[in-house]
């Protein structure tokens, strides 16, 4: 299916600060405690996580708002927080991101998800929450907040995580009043009770949420979900249903349309927040009058980007633009686009840091790439979100390795490295050491292979952390060259 990439890119490049969106729903705090597991507890058969990093991120409806903000929209979020430190943390995060908010304090604890992550894997999640039916007074406060914002709003999102805010009364009023004022409502649903979403313009369930509404298991194929969606649309007077089907993409149903839109195959690190990204991007696209096939394509692309990252991350407009601008140039262009100079790398660093990515840097000659190199680089990438590889130029390799090296020219070595999905950027440097390049990058983690010590690693002072990965025994370019030469000698005997 062809898409109007020029139209999508044009919209993404526009100033959209005049587009105001209201998000109503369950606000959460996502906390991450990140570290390494090196031993098992003597107290119980559980891993001990040596935590060296803590992060607080916006979750739930607040993450939907953050995605919209990163796409360039003007957004206001309405929800509840507790009278506790986690509530204050959410307020600070919203202020830091310059997201307008109307937060109602409540005597319930702030909904919080604590995730313990070790070696890039989630070990356990601890939820702090108390789900209850809100009293009429609190519901009135939410409704009054919605009323105060609708006159300046072009589209409303109801982000329901089943944490109390999106009661039937709040949802029904928000949808009814929005419809009266000609404002479309998009619902990200939760639970089996879709009556409260009656009259919405769009609803975006995943397969589990669709099954909850239907009351039984549904096969994850377009043929099976089609009659279900048609009946649910009619039953609840909902104009459009977009079903997110994980790796199978998105199926869309309207009065005149019933289509399936596949997604690109991606390496999945974490699906946290992917649904938030889909509803936010779909809202952004529809608000800017993209055709539905282009809107869903963009939402699929955005979700595919965030699931490659660890934890809850918003989509960044520049990331989407970078991908879109290379889509129609084919795979080879995508590979070439990873090979950057200092200026291009600086731009990427700004984008990645704005997205909250952990940046890993390593360097080497990588002449005659072998299994040892690949294993080392794959492992390095797992310590962060983006891996930059500094590649010695041909001239520097000659000085380091001798006049007969390199075997493979620098551009070809760079192209081979860039073809690996776990490498995000390759930059060739002319200096004898990568010190100046590391100073430019200022990585979160500097990775070296072999038997170095931290005090002997060039550029360590410009990195937050240093990690040494042992090489795999028996693999080296020198050994490989010697083996090839010995085979040549034998053939001449």
Give one DSSP letter per residue of 230-284, joined into a string. Answer: HHHHHHHT-SEEEEE-GGG-EEEE-SS-EEEE-------S--TTHHHHHHHHHHH
Least confident of 4-13, 22-31, 219-228: 4-13
- pTM > 0.75: yes or no: no
For residues 102 and 297, the model is more confident at 102
Residues assigned a catalytic role: 276
Q: In the structure encoding, which two tokens stand for residue 261, read together?
A: 């839109």
Which pLDDT does position 330 carry in this prediction?
Answer: 47
Q: Mean pLDDT over all residues of the chain?
A: 85
| Domain 332-484, CATH homologous superfamily name and number | HUPs (3.40.50.620)
* DSSP assigned state of 455: G
**What is the tens place of the pLDDT at every residue in 85-128?**
999 999 999 999 999 999 999 988 999 999 998 877 888 999 99
The Cβ of residue 41 has, within 10 Å, a number of other Cβ atoms equal to: 10
Tell me the mean pLDDT in the region 398-423. 85
What is the Cα–Cα distance from 214 to 192, expressed in whole angstroms?
7
Using alpha carbons only, what angle is made at residue 364 by residues 444 and 355, rounded to the nearest 5 degrees? 30
DSSP 307: T
Alpha-carbon distances, residue 108 vs 62, 90, 288, 486 (angstroms): 18, 15, 38, 74
Tell me which of 257 and 361 has the higher pLDDT.
361
Query: What is the architecture, at CATH level 2, of domain 5-327?
Result: 3-Layer(aba) Sandwich (3.40)
What pLDDT was estimated at residue 269? 41
Share of residues in the chain with pLDDT > 90 (%): 49
Among 28-32, 220-224, 320-324, 347-351, which is the least confidently predicted range? 320-324
- Residue 19 confidence (pLDDT): 80
Q: Using a pLDDT cut of 70, give the percent of the chain over it.
A: 86
pLDDT reading at 309 higher than 80: no
Give the Cα separation of 300 and 423 in Å (integer). Answer: 22
Q: Bridge partners of 359?
A: 386
DSSP code at position 462: G
Q: What is the mean pLDDT of residues 246-263?
A: 82
The domains of the chain are located at: 5-327, 332-484
CB 94 within 8 A of CB 62: yes
> pLDDT tens-digit profile of 267-282?
434 445 577 888 888 8
């Amino acid at each position: 299916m062809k898409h109007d990439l020029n139209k999508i890119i044009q919209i993404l490049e526009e100033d959209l600060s005049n587009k105001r969106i209201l998000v109503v729903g369950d606000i959460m705090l996502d906390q991450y405690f990140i570290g390494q597991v090196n031993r098992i507890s003597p107290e119980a058969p559980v891993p001990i996580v040596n935590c060296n990093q803590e992060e607080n991120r916006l979750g739930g409806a607040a993450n939907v708002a953050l995605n919209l903000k990163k796409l360039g929209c003007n957004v206001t979020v309405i929800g509840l927080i507790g009278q506790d430190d986690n509530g204050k943390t959410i307020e600070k995060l919203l202020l830091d991101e310059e997201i307008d908010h109307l937060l109602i304090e409540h005597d319930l604890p702030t909904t919080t998800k604590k995730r313990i992550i070790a070696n890039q894997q989630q070990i356990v999640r601890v939820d702090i929450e108390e789900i209850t039916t809100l009293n009429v007074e609190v519901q009135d406060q939410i409704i009054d907040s919605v009323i105060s914002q609708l006159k300046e709003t072009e589209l409303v999102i109801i982000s329901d995580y089943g944490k109390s805010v999106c009661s039937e009364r709040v949802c029904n009023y928000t949808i009814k009043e929005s419809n009266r004022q000609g404002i479309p409502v998009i619902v990200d649903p939760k639970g089996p009770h879709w009556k409260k979403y009656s009259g919405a313009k769009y609803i975006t369930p995943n397969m589990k949420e669709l099954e909850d509404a239907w009351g039984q298991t549904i096969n994850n194929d377009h043929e099976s979900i089609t009659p279900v969606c048609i009946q649910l649309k009619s039953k609840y007077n909902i104009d459009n249903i977009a079903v997110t089907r994980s790796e199978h993409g998105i199926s869309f149903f309207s009065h005149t349309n019933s289509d399936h839109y596949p997604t690109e195959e991606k390496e999945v690190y974490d699906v946290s927040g992917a649904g938030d990204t889909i509803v936010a991007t779909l809202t952004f696209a529809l608000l800017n009058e993209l055709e539905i096939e282009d809107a869903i394509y963009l939402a699929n692309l955005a979700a595919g980007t965030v699931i490659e990252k660890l934890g809850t991350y918003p989509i960044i407009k520049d990331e989407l633009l970078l991908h879109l601008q290379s889509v129609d140039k084919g795979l080879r262009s995508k590979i070439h686009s990873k090979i950057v100079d200092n200026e291009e790398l600086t731009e990427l660093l700004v984008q990645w840091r704005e997205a909250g990515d952990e940046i890993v840097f390593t360097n080497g000659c990588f002449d005659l790439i072998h299994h040892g190199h690949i294993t080392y680089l794959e492992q390095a990438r797992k310590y962060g979100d983006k891996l930059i590889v500094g590649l010695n130029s041909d001239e520097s390799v000659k000085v380091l390795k001798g006049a007969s090296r390199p075997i493979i020219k620098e551009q070809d070595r760079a192209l081979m490295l860039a073809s690996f999905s776990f490498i995000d950027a390759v930059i060739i440097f002319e200096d004898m050491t990568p010190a100046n390049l590391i100073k430019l990058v200022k990585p979160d983690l500097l990775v070296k292979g072999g038997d170095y010590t931290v005090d002997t690693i060039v550029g360590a002072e410009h990195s937050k952390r240093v990690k040494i990965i042992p090489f795999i025994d028996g693999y080296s370019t020198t050994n490989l060259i010697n083996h090839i030469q010995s085979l040549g000698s034998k053939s001449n005997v």
